[in-house]
Chains A and B, each alone.
Chain A
């Protein structure tokens, strides 16, 4: 071959080698049914990075589900509910309980992790929901409250042996945070984890911030608003997600620990803050606290949010207003 041709072929081979080495980022999306809901993970990265990262994230969420599910026998939460005496739990469960306790006491008991018996009584998500009597509610509420659980190291002491622990208002958030941590460890810089409406973002979408739609609490299929966000968690609690109707009255799954009945102050609460676990607990607390005390509680916790009152009025925290788009 002449020197000219040889040089050209070397150049060509070099170019080919380079283009082969550089992998293009793509938007990889996968979904799994987990924790009773559909979990979507979207990662913007080369496929060789995204696929194993998503595998690892789902595996981690499965692990948390097994650890904190009330239905998995011998899980930490199961043992907390079925054993009368003190229960030693894993470090993770202890940490989640500790963080939950803080929100419980600061919210004056609006967030409560000991409502297991009350939830079973109503059975809102079961096949046979019912409206319990005042007497039954009184019994189910015995012993609950922010002081019902005492944590010493990894051991949990229950004020009353019949108390049943329910981490429903915080465990999903924790699982999302763990999934995000695993994704970050795998080198992912742009991603979203959405577990049935409770979500957390890593970075932005790559080309622009993530656009988060908020479900309208009364008009299904319509949006209340959209938010442009990145690197943050968003959790919404609403009275429209899980409920049953009896004699024309709707009973939803967000209970007021003081009355033992569904809280009636808000239609929906969306909390925007760093961690999903915190957003999860705050959303429940704010929903129960109602508009005035709820918005104040958000401010105290330096979290942002949108609250729709029972009458349909929409309240937005000051820090979020610049990022909200109304339809």
Chain B
């Protein structure tokens, strides 16, 4: 792709749309791929698709992150044949809480929190959202919260790992010519 100074302001917008679509497709691919991996429990996943949500958040903005996250959950569940199943609602609850926390904290502390911190918060939100939905709709007994601390530890681990991956990815992307504006924007911040 070439760019020139005379380009109308719609080029960054067009670029954003295209890359967002690309990131979303990647996120869906990761979401469905993860499902094939063996796991100790059916609902525990590495959440690798969140790497792309983070990238959208840091590279573009909160709205992009939401678009990506919701599309990923919806289409991902469709592909897996889980649409409107309990698994879908768990994913949705987790995903919505995670994205909400991530966009909120990014808005509040843009300079003090990087991808790793935001990702960890997102993983925490995901665990919290899933847990709350499971308690509400499936297992209406407070004893289920006994699982929560272990879920938190797992969230911590995946949060840090995903955050690191996002950090590396963001570094590579920002260095690319295609994201000159975004890079400039980030540096100005």
Direct contact of A and B (CB under 8 A): no
